[in-house]
Structure 1
């Protein structure tokens, strides 16, 4: 269900509640007013009879007074006057057949307690009032009035109010529907369409009608337009950055490949040198061993041989010392070359790792560039 329909339903429910509450209050108050006016009318009639009682009017004349009251008051159902003579007996009534009958217990209670009793039975209001006649003689007046006519008029008035209220409700609902549709629903639907367009990658939105408004919806539309413009610029800059990253990573991958090949070649050369020095070192060790053995054999020769080969022995010893120095230097070079080979292998591993990472970053930059190009389109 759309928002403006919810608002229309809410508005109609509120108006119906207000209208129902108003009609209920009017009905209750008008009914109470009708009852109060009927009581005042009955009291006015009773005051007329009370004046006649105080003036010592004969009992037989009350009947004509009551009949005149009935002619003057169409709503008067019955009017009975009871006189206390051991028991309360009807001495005058608008209904001649009731004259001489005994009063109801309510009249006895009203007279005994000296209070006015009011009873409402449907559309009939019954008022029982204790009276004091000439010489302190106790009387009781029992008046019944019909409020059906007043209630009928009240119902007609309430029906007219209800009809006018329903017409006002229909007009209010139509106004609320038009208001919510033109003022709320259409701008919100336009912004929802713009949001869907942005979600599909189209950042060119048209909210001119909504942005010209001076209320909160206009401010929201202007903010949304600024946001889409900022997103468009941001995506353009991100696309350019992705393109640059892609190019830089491709160059980095190429440089890494070249560096890896150079490091591999250097490692191979160092390994070859290391193997050659190891071979020469082995040969020097073998030569030194042979020369040492030859010197030892020469030392064991005869005395005449010592005299003849003294110079050769001296030369052999110098060669032996030289060979030992070469062996020491070869051992040092061998150790340095091993260190260089280890370092070269480590650098080669690091370069390969960097190259793999650069390759993955290049692929990610390419994917990002493709995605941003799709959003720009």
Structure 2
């Protein structure tokens, strides 16, 4: 026999039984608290039930919510699509259609402080992993071949980026991908568009743009999956969210943060008019600098040529020649005077030497007596004692010499005292 409550091919359950059992299991869960993002609100006047769609912020999973309109009215802030909320309710199973819903009795909006705290925790996590490191920032190309733009359809951000970029450089190629920029479908759509543009080799830089908004509206741009996808991208990415008070995490992980979509277009695409004006200015400055240099060098050459040494190169030589001639004349005169003086002195000395010499003495009547003795050379005698009788002598006078012999010695003269 089949156990009670068991279904078998012989005793299958009818649909109502299966739905009833499923309903029993679901109703056993009791009251639960659930957090999510509202994607749809359906509230018709005069009805006693309002329907909402609650989506998981990090997954493509949603849940149908039913509640009394008064629950929505009692909420602290008006509920809108895209709002993050916390709900309390009991899961219910509608057996007629086999659908599950959450019957909500209380709705609490997630406060901005809580959202900012969660973003801050994620910021610290990504910073610890190095996703915000400046060394990972890729430089933007000076003149991109193509500019990818991810923004809302027909939005002011798209208009600003495209018009400003094409106005600055008309030949730039714009590749626009329109996606939701808020709400639960924004992150998946942005990730898909980012992957498409990053794989396009003709796109040199990607701009993710939105024209600002509240903290809740900018939540997709602080999504962890988006931040990691931006850090892995091959193409440089510019964040142009346009929200100054609070910066989404995309601003920190992107290669460049622009204050507004217009600012992003100015940073990504150079201004052709400004570049041409700069080229003209640089050419004018180069030409002016070259002319000034040539003029300065011409003035320098003119100054050098005006100097006396270059204006009349032979003048210094002529001046030196005249000086040399004067010096030569003075030298000749000094030499002549010196030679004349020396000649006169030599003449005087010669006269004195001649006066004191033997020839002059002989000329005055004196004679030089030399004794000749055998083979010995003649020698001058100064005393009669050196000339004994019979000695051969040589007597030299002024006009010649003669030989003689000593025949007799004369008496020595007596020298008187008074003659001394």
Larger helix proportion, structure 1 or 2? Answer: 1
Report the TM-score range of the alignment, normalised by the length of the smaller protein. Answer: 0.3 to 0.5
**Scaled by the length of structure 1, what TM-score is found?**
0.35
Specify which structure has the bigger relative contact order, considering alpha-carbon pairs within 8 angstroms and separated by 6 or more residues. Answer: 1
> Where is the strand percentage greater, Structure 1 or Structure 2?
2
